[in-house]
Amino acid sequence: MILRKLIIIMTAAVSLMSARAQEARYKWDVGVAAGMSGYIGDANSGFPFRHPGAAAALLGRYNFNTRIALRAQLGMQSISGNTADIDNVLPGGMQYDFKTSVIDFGVRGEFNFFPYGIGETYKRLRRCTPYASLGIGMAVGGSKGDRTVAFAIPMGVGVKYKLSERVNLGAEWSFIKTFSDRIDSKELSDLYQIKSSFIKNNDWLSTLAVSVTYEFGERCVVCNRKD
């Protein structure tokens, strides 16, 4: 229900932004991101960064205009957890812990709250803007030789800042909703043998990361066509 409302709100925002946005000067930017990773699942039901790991990613972005972009991202993150940290008592008093790495790939739409850019003051560009993102993707995880591929929905909020005309800095808090209960470990799948809700019966990944990207592919500014 929450996800459905988020999709409706972001769709409406895209429609409004598209009608008012100016062309971005450069079509593409590519870069890297790095930061801290976390996880919510059977071995950690609370704060996602209780057992922080490392996260890194390669990303590429197509800028439709100063408000809307499409981003492809390939990331890797380490996650870990221990059922000793949770309040619930497991059947038989069993305890589980795990540590593994997860690879994720996704495509996200990005929606800037302000026209993003530098210079060209007649466009009322902002050098800094908050943004939100939502997309689709896949995640590959698991431990002890059991690897699982799952459909995923990445989403996030962040801030972009133009360090110079082509260089962008960013900071983002991102969540990846996976449609699998084995991204952490096969042993942690359905511990209570009870089917639960859409939210609780699957693993979530989370990252706090900073990024740097470089823009290229300047648009034609003297011809009457769109690239």
Task: Write out the chain's pLDDT in tens, 227 residues.
Answer: 555 555 555 555 555 544 455 778 899 999 999 999 999 887 887 789 989 999 999 999 999 999 999 999 999 999 998 877 776 666 666 777 788 999 999 999 999 999 999 876 667 899 999 999 999 999 999 877 788 899 999 999 999 999 999 999 999 999 999 998 888 877 666 665 555 555 556 889 999 999 999 999 988 766 555 54
Measured between alpha carbons, how far is 154 from 157 in angstroms, rounded to an integer? 11
User: In the structure encoding, which two tokens stand for residue 106, read together?
Assistant: 């996704």
- Name the pTM for this structure: 0.81
Provide the residue ranges of all domains of the chain, joining segments of one domain with +.
2-218
Residue 95, class by beta-carbon neighbours within 10 Å (0-12 exposed, 13-18 middle, 19+ buried)?
Answer: exposed
Q: How many residues would you count in the chain?
A: 227
3-state secondary structure of 109: strand
Tell me the CATH class for 2-218. mainly beta
